[in-house]
Amino acid sequence: MQNRNPAFWYGTALAWKTGFGTLSADYLLGGNRGERAKIDYSRLFGFGKFSVEPYGSVEWFSNDYINYYYGVRASEARAGRLEYTASSAYAVSIGTRINYSLTRKQKVTLDVAAKHFTDGITESPIVGRRYLPALALGYAYQFE
């Protein structure tokens, strides 16, 4: 299959913080790689140096995005890998971030999540599963 190159994504994002949590949204364009949009809700619970932040999101991907990253062009089709052209698709994610503040400026984060893809992605012959588990460990230093 032909390589799929990464794209530079640009767009708008906004967040609304309330006493009930944070609602955020973004809309991104990736040149000829399509569009994607996401709505996310999270709620932070603090426990001294620890904090726990459960979250959920819904993400939409345009058909150009799906066809570029998950489609199979006629020239790429082989036995067992049929040509595939898709319509737009969605993904739903849930997860939890666990943060630990090492100092006032340093933080370590563990993010555990699961993402569920809809048919536009999972029907592609190059996608093997409907659910994608994720585990990420991060370190942040805040400059002043």
Q: What is the pLDDT of residues 68-121, one digit of tens each?
A: 888 888 788 888 888 888 889 999 999 999 999 999 999 999 999 999 999 888
Instruction: List, as own/partner pairs, every contact residues 4-9 make where C-beta atoms lie below 8 angstroms and the sequence separation is at least 24, other chains included.
Output: 4/68, 4/69, 7/31, 7/33, 9/36
What is the pLDDT at residue 74?
A: 79
Query: What's the domain range around 115?
Result: 10-141
Q: How confident is the model at residue 7 (pLDDT cuts 50, 70, 90)?
A: confident
In a domain, 3, yes or no: no
What is the pLDDT at residue 84?
A: 85
User: Is the separation of the CB atoms in 134 and 115 below 8 Å?
Assistant: yes
Number of domains, the chain: 1
7-11, 12-16, 51-55: lowest mean pLDDT where?
7-11
Distance CA 136, CA 125 (A): 27
In a domain, 1, yes or no: no
In a domain, 5, yes or no: no
The model carries a pTM of 0.81
